[in-house]
């Protein structure tokens, strides 16, 4: 067996626009979020873990989050494209994969959770564009995540799942180093603690990257 290499600060991936700018939220404006935990096995615990995971993202990135309360919104492709009337720009919801009412069609194959974003750009001259994330989401499959332990313990915990998907929602991609939260598979050796690569990536999409105006 080959031991995994030690994590480094280069273990992160980001998405860039055609002009080379990094896909990210505007760190100089609060990200309003709402939670739909009605289908979680323990809604109160799921909400508490979500808010704790949000706090971990905020502490590492410098992004600010404002909790708008509970919601009945379930993120879907139509919602992500600007449909619906939700005022919150980030929604975390427990929902089954699918296309029926109450389902989310944002899940990847065999995914227990999924996180992501959509961005839009503005231009004053039609040539130079300024881009930023406008809506983000996390969806958790109640059935797929049923075996995850509540809290932020080692292994398959709900906390590390939420941290991972929220990492996607603020712009991080998967990495190859399994000691980082953004490793694509949550295993018995996973830890609900940002690795150096995670922290470097969160810095690149966070407050120190500067305002988007």
Sorted by where each starts, the structural domains of the chain and their CATH numbers stand as 31-120+130-200 (3.40.390.10)
CA dihedral 209, 12, 198, 15 (to 10 degrees): 50
Q: How confident is the model at residue 7 (pLDDT cuts 50, 70, 90)?
A: very low
Q: How far apart (Å, rounded) are the C-alpha atoms in residues 172 and 165?
A: 9
Which whole number is the average pLDDT over 81-90?
Answer: 79
**β-bridge partners, 34:** 91
Cα three-residue angle 156-158-163, rounded to 5 degrees: 100
Which whole number is the average pLDDT over 4-13?
Answer: 60
Q: How far apart (Å, rounded) are the C-alpha atoms in residues 76 and 92?
A: 11
Sign of the alpha-carbon dihedral angle for 102, 108, 114, 118: negative
Least confident of 19-23, 29-33, 117-121, 124-128: 124-128
Residue with tokens 């096995």: 41
Give the pTM: 0.93
Per-residue pLDDT reduced to its tens digit, 167-199: 999 999 999 999 999 999 999 999 999 999 999
Per-residue pLDDT reduced to its tens digit, 38-61: 999 999 999 999 999 999 999 999
């Amino acid at each position: 067996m080959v031991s995994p290499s030690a994590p480094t600060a280069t273990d992160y991936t980001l998405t860039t626009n055609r002009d080379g700018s990094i896909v990210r939220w505007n760190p100089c404006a609060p990200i309003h979020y709402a939670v739909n935990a009605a289908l979680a096995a323990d809604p109160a615990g799921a909400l508490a873990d979500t808010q704790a995971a949000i706090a971990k993202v905020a502490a590492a990135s410098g992004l600010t989050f404002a909790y708008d309360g509970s919601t009945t919104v379930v993120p879907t492709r139509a919602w992500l494209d600007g449909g619906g009337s939700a005022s919150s720009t980030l929604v975390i919801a427990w929902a089954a994969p699918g296309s029926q009412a109450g389902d989310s069609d944002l899940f990847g194959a065999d995914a227990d959770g999924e996180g992501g974003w959509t961005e839009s750009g503005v231009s004053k001259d039609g040539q130079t564009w300024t881009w930023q994330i406008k809506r983000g989401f996390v969806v958790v499959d109640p059935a797929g995540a049923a075996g995850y332990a509540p809290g932020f313990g080692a292994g398959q915990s709900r906390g590390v799942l939420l941290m991972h998907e929220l990492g996607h929602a603020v712009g991080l991609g998967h990495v190859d180093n399994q000691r980082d939260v953004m490793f694509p598979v949550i295993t018995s050796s996973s830890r609900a603690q940002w690795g150096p690569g995670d922290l470097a990536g969160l810095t690149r999409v966070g407050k120190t990257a500067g305002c988007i105006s």
